[in-house]
Amino acid sequence: MLVFTRRVDEAIVIGDGIEVKVLRVGRDSVRIGVSAAPDVPVHRREVYDQIRAANAAAAADPAELPALVARLRARVGTSE
């Protein structure tokens, strides 16, 4: 891990398009701002972990796919 020391209003740059700036330092927290292109996902770690867990839970087991396809076809009313 690369560790930086920054003061308020100082920033670091990651690659060509991400800037992380220290906005405020409090007793128990640091407020940072992240500037990135709209297509670059930026999440807090706890949110990122929840997204990954939800995606893993939503992933279908390949063995269950035939039954899932049959249920979807029955719902739509097709027999292919």
pLDDT of residue 62: 78
The domain in which residue 49 lies consists of 43-80
* pLDDT < 50 stretches in the chain: none
pLDDT of residue 34: 98
Judgement on whether residues 37 and 5 belong to the same structural domain of the protein = yes
Judgement on whether residues 56 and 37 belong to the same structural domain of the protein = no
pLDDT digits (tens, 9 = 90+) for 22-36: 999 999 999 999 999
Judgement on whether residues 37 and 50 belong to the same structural domain of the protein = no
Judgement on whether residues 34 and 66 belong to the same structural domain of the protein = no
Judgement on whether residues 55 and 69 belong to the same structural domain of the protein = yes
What is this structure's pTM?
A: 0.65
Handedness of CA 69, 73, 76, 80 (dihedral sign): positive
The string of DSSP codes covering 19-78 is: EEEEEEE-SS-EEEEEE--TTS----HHHHHHHHHHHHHHSPPGGGHHHHHHHHHHHHT-
Handedness of CA 40, 42, 45, 46 (dihedral sign): negative
| Paired tokens of 72 | 């979807």
Judgement on whether residues 52 and 80 belong to the same structural domain of the protein = yes
